[in-house]
Structure 1
Amino acid sequence: MSAAEFSRIVKVRPHPPQSTTLEANDEERAALAHRVGVTAIEALSAELSFTPEGDAIVATGTLAADVIQPCAVSGEDFAVHLKEPLHLRFVRALSPVAADEEIELADDEPDEIEFDGEIIDVGEAVAQSLALAVDPYAMGPDADAARRAAGIEDESAPRGPLAEGLAALRKT
């Protein structure tokens, strides 16, 4: 795990705060951009509300980010606006899992993050959520032109004898 590029410690005992707003500064955004593998993060903020649930703390809210990332096809940078719902559950101890065992969460289940029972680092949780929200294979607005220039066919284009016959009819 990387050093905490975006650490925001929240004391949750005896009671968590009702809510918090986080905003990354220039230095934090630059470090996170390197960690996430994008060219730049121009803005990053999150709003979270906290609810105790037994020994656990549930945090819900929204992450918003303006990211500059390279196109997976052309390599050219383009801007992406991310707005992601956050649903995190901070638990005192996670169940042990074998090294080769896969864990799958349903879409409506919160991500579980272990904490010591006293404090949580919501900044690190937001950073991890940002890393998951960035599409590493995102295609910029010039992706199709780059494919054509490289002679790469459109994989979604119809193929086969019928498609060739229709294409011949259109040319006449």
Structure 2
Amino acid sequence: MSESPPPPPEFSRLVKVRPHPPETLTIEASDRERVALAQRFGIAAIDSLVAVAHFAEDGAAIAVDGEIDAALVQECAVAGDRFPVKVAESFSVRMIPPVRHPTTPDEEIELDEGDLDEIEFDGEMFDLGEIVAQSLALAIDPYAEGPNAEAARKEAGIVSDDAPQDGPLADLLRGLKKD
């Protein structure tokens, strides 16, 4: 039984970096791409998505620094209503040539803090759109609360942590806090 190929990225922008990368590149998601990304991220909508990337050669690697500007529509984690969210996020990655990975499953790999922002590429081109998409995904608050969250809590009888609470569980928790 053969594996099916992965689906194509929703927001693909291949950047050719050899012989030299561009200095700066601005990319913008189309209507179709924004709908597909919103589905992927489990949010109501992406009204706009623009990214500006700056490139610099670093030996065989390419440093990519940029800014994302997006307008999203999310559902409130408490009230369930939709509300607008602005995302202004920077990103920074290093595109590096392929690295030899251990061949045995018992061999350990240790990563330094800087290694986490390195992405292997073939040395010729990489997908800036997917880098932007992944950076945007990390910037989305999965538990975002809209302007009606507090009213929904009160309506459901949920009080804030500061309000006095009664009952056996509240008594137990107060007893634990004293210790």
TM-score interval for Structure 1 and Structure 2 normalised by the shorter chain: 0.7 to 0.9
Normalising by the residue count of structure 1, what TM-score does the alignment of the two structures yield?
0.82
User: Which aligned pairs between 1:1-172 and structure 2 lie closer than 5 A?
Assistant: 2-94=7-99, 96=101, 106=113, 111-155=117-161, 157=162, 159=164
> Matched residue pairs, number?
158
Q: In structure 2, do the counterparts of structure 1 residues 46 and 105 end up closer, same or farther at CA, with 3 Å as the change threshold?
A: farther
- CA deviation after TM superposition for structure 1 residue 93, in Å: 2.4
SS in structure 1 of the partner of residue 67 of structure 2: strand
SS in structure 1 of the partner of residue 87 of structure 2: strand
Kindly provide the CA deviation profile for residues 102-159 of structure 1, in whole angstroms up to 9, marking residues without a partner as x.
98775x887222211100100010001011110001111110011111111212x154
Q: Distance in 2 between matches of 1:103 and 1:42?
A: 40
Q: Distance in 2 between matches of 1:47 and 1:24?
A: 12
- CA deviation after TM superposition for structure 1 residue 96, in Å: 3.8
One-letter amino acid matched to 2:19: P
Normalising by the residue count of structure 2, what TM-score does the alignment of the two structures yield?
0.79
Q: Distance in 2 between matches of 1:43 and 1:141?
A: 21
For 1:168, the equivalent position in structure 2 comes to: none
- CA deviation after TM superposition for structure 1 residue 3, in Å: 2.6
Gaps of 5+ in 1: 161-172
- CA deviation after TM superposition for structure 1 residue 75, in Å: 1.1
Q: Distance in 2 between matches of 1:62 and 1:125?
A: 11
For 1:170, the equivalent position in structure 2 comes to: none
One-letter amino acid matched to 1:142: N
Q: Distance in 1 between matches of 2:154 and 2:109?
A: 40
The answer to whether the 8 Å contact 1:73/1:143 transfers is yes
Q: Distance in 1 between matches of 2:116 and 2:52?
A: 16
Q: RMSD value over aligned CA atoms? A: 2.6
Kindly provide the CA deviation profile for residues 15-43 of structure 1, in whole angstroms up to 9, marking residues without a partner as x.
10111000001000000000011100000
Q: In structure 2, do the counterparts of structure 1 residues 92 and 109 end up closer, same or farther at CA, with 3 Å as the change threshold?
A: closer
SS in structure 1 of the partner of residue 98 of structure 2: coil
Gaps of 5+ in 2: 1-5, 166-179
Q: Distance in 2 between matches of 1:66 and 1:133?
A: 12
SS in structure 1 of the partner of residue 40 of structure 2: helix
One-letter amino acid matched to 1:125: I
